[in-house]
Amino acid sequence: MPDLDPVIHAQARLRIVAALATLDVKDQITFPRLQEVLDMTAGNLSAHLRKLEDADYVTVEKTHKGRTPVTYIALTTKGRRAFEDYTAQLRELLGGTA
pLDDT tens column, 61-70: 999 999 999 9
Provide the CATH number for the domain around residue 41. 1.10.10.10
pLDDT at res. 97 = 55
The DSSP code for 2 is P
Q: Supply the pLDDT for residue 70.
A: 96
- Tell me which residue of 31, 91, 88, 89 sits closest to 58, measured CA to CA: 31
Residue 91: its H or E element: helix 77-93
In a domain, 86, yes or no: yes
CB-based contacts of 80, cutoff 8 Å, min separation 6: 21, 25
1 falls within a domain: no
Q: Residue 59 belongs to what domain range?
A: 6-92
Which of the residues in the chain have pLDDT under 50?
98
In a domain, 61, yes or no: yes
pTM score above 0.85 = yes
Q: How many domains does the chain have?
A: 1
Which pLDDT value is given to residue 41? 97
Q: DSSP string of 29-52?
A: EEHHHHHHHHT--HHHHHHHHHHH
Residue 97 domain-assigned? no
SS3 category, 62 = strand
What pLDDT shows up at residue 34? Answer: 98
